[in-house]
Amino acid sequence: MSEHRLPTRREAINLLVKAGCSPNVVEHCKRVSAFALKIAKACQRKHSNVDVKLVEISALLHDIGRSRTHSVDHALQGGKIARALGLPESVALIIERHAGGGIPREEAKKLGWPAKDYLPKTLEEKIVCYADKRVERLRIVSIEKTIKSYAVDLGKNHPAIKRILELHREITSLAGDLDAPSDIA
């Protein structure tokens, strides 16, 4: 992959397969990409400046780190894989910053990650992070279901829940109603 060039959709899917992602992970990535693309286009229609292609391709690649682990570390591993493949830094950052609604420096240190902030900053990072939180395996779920799942898995007062709710408010303020019927299954 030539450095600083976004792969095509087909190339991104091939990168997932070559990295060793399971068919279920690849299909999940396709669903997240479709939902993220819907969000990005809705933001664009409402006059937000968003790189739609970056969102689509980064969402496809967001779980490439699951080729190595299914723990939260998949985000960190995915960033390393993206850089090793010569993908643009913007893609690597989206991959690193998609887990748990983003991971602040203190939580990163507790996870044994390099001590830095892994919170999504750009609109593209936020869209991919949010879309991933709303796609459970292969289905788009409500924000309420997402929050309930996180509360069960991490505890009802885990800071990730607050981050996801803040992300939800920000994205829906920019994109509008994302729970309206759509052609994305």
- Mean pLDDT computed over 168-182: 81
Is residue 1 in a domain?
no
In a domain, 183, yes or no: no
180 located within any domain: no
Q: Which residues contact 34 (CB under 8 A, 6 or more apart)?
A: 184
Q: What is the pLDDT of residue 177?
A: 80
The pLDDT of residue 3 is above 80: no
- pLDDT for position 55: 98
What percent of the chain clears pLDDT 70, i.e. is strictly above it? Answer: 95
- Residue 34 confidence (pLDDT) above 70: yes
Say if 92 falls within a structural domain.
Answer: yes
In this prediction, residue 181 has a pLDDT band, given cuts at 50, 70 and 90, of very low
- C-alpha 153/C-alpha 90 separation (Å) is 30
118 is a domain residue: yes
Q: Give the angle 57-120-113 at the CA atoms, nearest 5°.
A: 100
* pLDDT tops 50 at residue 150: yes
Give yes or no for residue 105 having a pLDDT over 50: yes
d(CA 132, CA 111) in angstroms, rounded, equals: 21
Structure tokens at 143: 């924000």
Q: Do 66 and 89 meet the contact criterion of CB atoms below 8 Å apart?
A: no
CATH number at residue 27: 1.10.3210.10
- 4 domain residue, yes or no: no
For position 178, what pLDDT does the model report? 78
Is the pLDDT confidence value at 175 over 80?
yes
pLDDT (0 to 100) of residue 182 = 47
Residue 182 lies in a domain: no
147-168 mean pLDDT = 94
How many domains in the chain?
Answer: 1
pLDDT of residue 48: 82
Which of helix, strand or coil describes residue 171? Answer: helix
Q: List alpha helices for the chain, DSSP H.
A: 9-19, 23-45, 52-61, 74-84, 89-96, 105-110, 123-134, 143-154, 159-175
Q: How many CB atoms lie within 10 A of CB 162?
A: 12
**CA separation for the pair 59, 128 (Å, rounded):** 6
Which structure tokens are listed for 172? 């829906």
Give the residue numbers spanning the domain of 87.
9-175
At 47, the pLDDT band (50, 70, 90 cuts) reads confident
Give 91's Cβ-side CA count (13 Å radius). 29
